Amino acid sequence: MHDLSRLDIELLKKIHGQPGLTVREVIGPFLNSRSKRALYYKVITLAAHGFVRLDRTTMSRSVLCHPTAETRKLLDATTEHLDSLESEAV
């Protein structure tokens, strides 16, 4: 499994929750914590690892983000792991 940061997980949650957003729409809420270039690179890296499928539109210069099956598996595993940590803390 790849070492993903908390930011990577949040980006994947955004992409999974709203498939078809542009990269600009995905990274917008996170611009207060990182530069546009760094966030764009994170999305490209997630795509290179197979977590995101990027579709370039022909009508405009937008790039649309879609989750893959790997995204669902990762988010399910992450949720289970966080749930187990919370139950241990109680």
DSSP conformation letters of 38-56: HHHHHHHHHHHTTSEEEEE
Domain boundaries, the chain: 6-89
pLDDT at 61: 77
CB 52 within 8 A of CB 12: yes
pLDDT in tens, 36-72: 999 999 999 999 999 999 998 776 778 999 999 998 8
Which residue did the predictor score with more confidence, 89 or 11? 11
pLDDT at 4: 84
Work out the pLDDT band at 26, boundaries 50, 70, 90: very high
- What is this structure's pTM? 0.81
For 6-89, the fitting CATH number among 3.90.1150.10, 3.20.20.60, 1.10.10.10, 1.10.1240.10 is 1.10.10.10
pLDDT at 75: 84
Token code pair at residue 35: 């530069």
pLDDT at 1: 46
Average pLDDT over residues 80-84: 57
